[in-house]
Structure 1
Amino acid sequence: MEGTATHNGSTTLLGDVTFRMASAPTVDSSLYSLSSEQAEFFKAQTGIDDDEDLKRHILEVQAKAYQVAPYPCIRSFVFLRNITFLRLNLSSLSVYEHILELGRKRPDAVLLDIGCCFGTDARKAAADGFPAKNIIASDLFNEFLQLSHELFKTTPASYPGCFLPGDVFDPAFLSIAAPTDDVTPAPAIDLSSLKSLNHLHGRISVINAISFFHLFSEKKQFLVAKALAGLLSAQPGSVICGYHVGSLEKGIVNNSLPGSEYGLFAHSPKTWSSLWDGEVFKKGSVKVETELVEIETRDVQFFMMKWSVMRL
């Protein structure tokens, strides 16, 4: 969750997206829902075995996050699922096993979870074997990163993952650099010492950008893509991936979360692929895969787009 974030009465701005509400909605515990797989994960991570105790714990963290920023995605428990409308996360992407393999086999491979909220994807990757000390979870709000420790019942001493607050549109935190062609493995770096992402140009093996790009205008999506591309290692197999709102034709897509309405700029698979392969990266230097998943809604046709961009 990056970029400008403001709240004023019945209007909330997240990135470039304005959420319009009839009134500022309160937290609604009836929206709470975990699949059996999610419940198993959160129980294993928190040590809370009782369903009601787990629900109570998550609701307490949600209430604190809603005080920090009253986003509809916080109210609707998107931080549990890491994706609006779908109970999917990084582990559901076809490239996930490849990501875990990079963590196992590539010395000092680094995973960046950008716009992470509470860093649930980062925690899942660590639980599945990607070295936690090589994972960075980054969000605009440092309070969300601190609440990650509360949600997962850890401390900076007990969890070795790196939490790095910052704004991707602040050049002091992330400047735009051309994608590197140098495939030489980078020396190890102490992630805990980082103050920005600028020390990691050309050094990151995996960038997870779930529910991220659609928060911005078309122009800003291009700028973020260039900024993240500059971080990606040139070693073959290095990958940027995610999913967000997609469309058959690029343009503004209107939809809603409980209590709010909003419009998002969405790319089509064709325009998303051409953006990465030819505009952001040199044509033919990456492999782009996309998949549109249609979501059932009451009023309109709505798609989420799963995608990955891999260095060749």
Structure 2
Amino acid sequence: MNDPVASQGQGQGQLMRDERHDLPRYADELPKDFERFRKLLANYSGIPEDQVDDHVRAVREKAWSIHPYPCVGQWRFLDLSISQHPLYPKVLSMLTSDDDKKLLDMGCCFAQDLRSLAADGVPSENLYGADLRLEFLDLGYDLFRDKGKIKAHFYEGDALALPGSEAEGGLKELNGQFDIVHAASFLHLFSWEDQVTAACRLVSFFKPDAKEAVIFGRQIGTLKPGKYQRRNDPNGSRFAHDLNTFQQLWDGVGEKTGTKWKLEGELRTAPKWRGEGEVSGDTKLMIFQVIKTH
């Protein structure tokens, strides 16, 4: 979903509430810098400003009790990262000027970025979200108070599952439908092999004739690419990329899918996530877009 911890074993997911709040990556206090999200709740959801803090805390606690994802514990979902991406103005223009264009947000959590798009004028019926956990999609309705209002489509499923398996869930309904895929804090969860599997699945979601097919988002990057052990999971690993290795990954995906992809991106200074310790100097924030060239 949103961080390497997301793929840890289910044992941690069964922790009692008090134990959950002692876990690393849980920040008690709301950040002061989430004005963009505040405005979204006020203008899109109609939540009075003096109720916003308590409302956000209540939904966060429900989510944390389901599974202690770092994006939830560190309040990362408040960032609305899609609207900060350099490609956002172009994506917004594509989706508002052509009713046939559709966007999928893969690993969408509460689908907060889809609400941002809807609030900026994108027809919500052309927005789709998919996540591993249906509970988080349901909590999105609670967070934004838009059940029956938003016409976006939400699906539960595992991008690593074999096609046709039960774990694939509703993802099979999404094949061949999209022009744009947003995948923030998603691929960095996995090993190289699983990233290839997940990326090939992303490719399968595009329309066969999509002329401007693009996958964009942000994820953890590094100056020292390689395999890293998952936190609190001695049997699991993930692969962290620089721009060169990420292009190599997409070269391999292209060979497997009969397509070609060009990476454009940059490595920025990684923020100190709320509730996190000091960030290594080698750790970066990768802002990327992968464009289909063939």
Alpha-carbon contact 1:248-1:269 (below 8 Å) kept:
no
Relative to structure 1, is the Cα distance of residues 11 and 250 closer, same or farther in structure 2, using a 3 angstrom cutoff? farther
Alpha-carbon contact 2:129-2:153 (below 8 Å) kept:
yes
Please say if 1:226 is aligned against 2:200: yes
Q: Which amino acid aligns with 2:11?
A: N
Relative to structure 1, is the Cα distance of residues 23 and 200 closer, same or farther in structure 2, using a 3 angstrom cutoff? closer
* 3-state SS in 1 of match to 2:286: strand
Partner of 1:281: 254
Shift of 1:97: 1.7
Relative to structure 1, is the Cα distance of residues 285 and 67 closer, same or farther in structure 2, using a 3 angstrom cutoff? same
* 3-state SS in 2 of match to 1:30: coil
Please say if 1:98 is aligned against 2:62: no
* 3-state SS in 1 of match to 2:267: strand
The structure 2 residue matched to 1:245, chosen from 216, 220, 236, is 220
Aligned-CA RMSD value: 3.1
Please say if 1:8 is aligned against 2:7: no
The structure 1 residue matched to 2:132, chosen from 123, 129, 140, is 140
Alpha-carbon contact 1:132-1:160 (below 8 Å) kept:
yes
* 3-state SS in 2 of match to 1:109: coil
Relative to structure 1, is the Cα distance of residues 209 and 174 closer, same or farther in structure 2, using a 3 angstrom cutoff? farther
**TM-score between the two structures when normalised by the length of structure 2:** 0.81
Q: Percent identity?
A: 28
Partner of 1:307: 288
The separation in 2 between residues aligned to 1:311 and 1:272, in whole angstroms, is 15
Partner of 1:158: 149
Alpha-carbon contact 1:32-1:76 (below 8 Å) kept:
no
Structure 1, residues 95-114: CA drift from partner, whole Å, max 9, x if none? 11221222123342111111
Partner of 2:275: none
Partner of 1:186: none
The separation in 1 between residues aligned to 2:25 and 2:247, in whole angstroms, is 39
Structure 1, residues 31-88: CA drift from partner, whole Å, max 9, x if none? 44343323222222221232x4100001110111111112232121122225xxxxxx
Shift of 1:136: 0.8
Shift of 1:253: 5.5
* 3-state SS in 2 of match to 1:310: strand
Q: Which amino acid aligns with 1:295?
A: A
Shift of 1:4: 4.9
More helix by share: 2
Partner of 1:168: 159
Matched residue pairs, number?
271
Q: For structure 1, which runs of at least 5 residues remain unmatched after alignment? A: 13-20, 83-88, 176-194, 257-261
Shift of 1:130: 2.1
Q: How does 1:117-128 map to 2 (within 5 A)?
A: 117-128=109-120
The separation in 2 between residues aligned to 1:10 and 1:285, in whole angstroms, is 39
Partner of 2:246: 272
Between 109-118 and 24-33, report the one with greater CA deviation.
24-33
The separation in 2 between residues aligned to 1:109 and 1:74, in whole angstroms, is 30
Q: Which amino acid aligns with 1:8?
A: G
Structure 1, residues 181-237: CA drift from partner, whole Å, max 9, x if none? xxxxxxxxxxxxxx6232433321111100111111111011111111121234221
Alpha-carbon contact 2:190-2:237 (below 8 Å) kept:
no
The separation in 2 between residues aligned to 1:209 and 1:280, in whole angstroms, is 16
Partner of 1:54: 52
The separation in 2 between residues aligned to 1:201 and 1:238, in whole angstroms, is 14
Shift of 1:173: 6.6
Partner of 2:28: 29
Q: Which amino acid aligns with 2:38?
A: A
The separation in 2 between residues aligned to 1:94 and 1:28, in whole angstroms, is 28
Relative to structure 1, is the Cα distance of residues 221 and 98 closer, same or farther in structure 2, using a 3 angstrom cutoff? same
The separation in 1 between residues aligned to 2:183 and 2:218, in whole angstroms, is 7
Q: Which amino acid aligns with 2:69?
A: Y
Partner of 1:67: 65
Alpha-carbon contact 1:206-1:232 (below 8 Å) kept:
yes
Q: For structure 2, which runs of at least 5 residues remain unmatched after alignment? A: 273-277
The structure 2 residue matched to 1:110, chosen from 96, 102, 127, is 102
The separation in 1 between residues aligned to 2:263 and 2:70, in whole angstroms, is 31
The separation in 2 between residues aligned to 1:93 and 1:67, in whole angstroms, is 30
The separation in 1 between residues aligned to 2:279 and 2:57, in whole angstroms, is 30
